[in-house]
Amino acid sequence: MSATVIHEGAVSTRLGLPGVPEAAETVAVARDLALIEQTGVRAHFQRISTARAVRMISRAQYDGLAVTADVTAHHLHLSEIDVADFNSQCHVRPPLRTLRDQEGLRAGLAKGIISAICSDHQPHEEDAKLNPFSETVPGISALESVLPLSLRLVNSGLIDLTTLIARLTTEPAKILGLEVGSLRVGNTADICIF
């Protein structure tokens, strides 16, 4: 198993679990943004988990770089606090971060800095989650929860329903350069019914 299992901070220290520092994400984002700036390529950051990475991507977008980002539905609703009772269902990669990070992710989604919500569906057999937390396999069964969790964002007033639907459908299609994700005459009916 991995040497690090949860966000490095007060909760990891209290639980005695090795943590993944924020810098594990932000250093990689900074490096990639520097390369993107030098080469002019288009790039997408997946599963962003820190408020600092959102700020870095926002600045890059403001500077005209062609960068997009997505976030998992569970990172918008869960935090390191949910790991506090050694809940192995919350052992995910990247790890669940602080409430401040969660707020930053939500703000980034509301402002359009983060243009897509993903499920990051990585289910495992039950036995993979029964060991002590640090020995469990990271991943979460999320396909069935991405829509209900995302609808909470609408119910709380963070984003409207039209924006939510776009973040789950047309925006990911645009990022991938696909002409799908919409119901229009002549288009393929590429839909998922929950």
Tell me how many degrees the CA angle 69-103-52 measures, rounded to the nearest 5. 55
**CB burial class (10 A; 0-12, 13-18, 19+) of residue 76?**
buried
pTM for this model (two decimals)? 0.90
Length of the chain, please?
194
**Residue 41's pLDDT is what?**
98
User: 179: helix, coil or strand?
Assistant: coil
Q: Is the Cα dihedral 152, 154, 155, 156 positive or negative?
A: positive
User: 75: helix, coil or strand?
Assistant: helix
**Residue 140's pLDDT is what?**
78
The domains of the chain, with CATH numbers, are 6-175 (3.20.20.140)
Q: What is the DSSP letter of 137?
A: P
**Residue 181's pLDDT is what?**
57
pLDDT digits (tens), the chain, 194 positions: 457 889 999 999 999 999 999 999 999 999 999 999 999 999 999 999 999 999 999 999 999 999 999 999 999 999 999 988 888 888 899 999 999 999 999 999 999 999 999 988 878 778 877 788 888 888 777 778 899 999 999 999 999 999 999 999 889 989 999 877 567 788 777 776 66
Please state the φ and ψ torsions of residue 72, each to the nearest 5 degrees: -80, 150
120, 127, 160, 190: the active-site residue: 120
**Residue 155's pLDDT is what?**
97
**Residue 13's pLDDT is what?**
93
Contact of 119 with 143, CB cutoff 8 Å: yes
Tell me how many degrees the CA angle 79-129-7 measures, rounded to the nearest 5. 30
Active site residue 120: yes
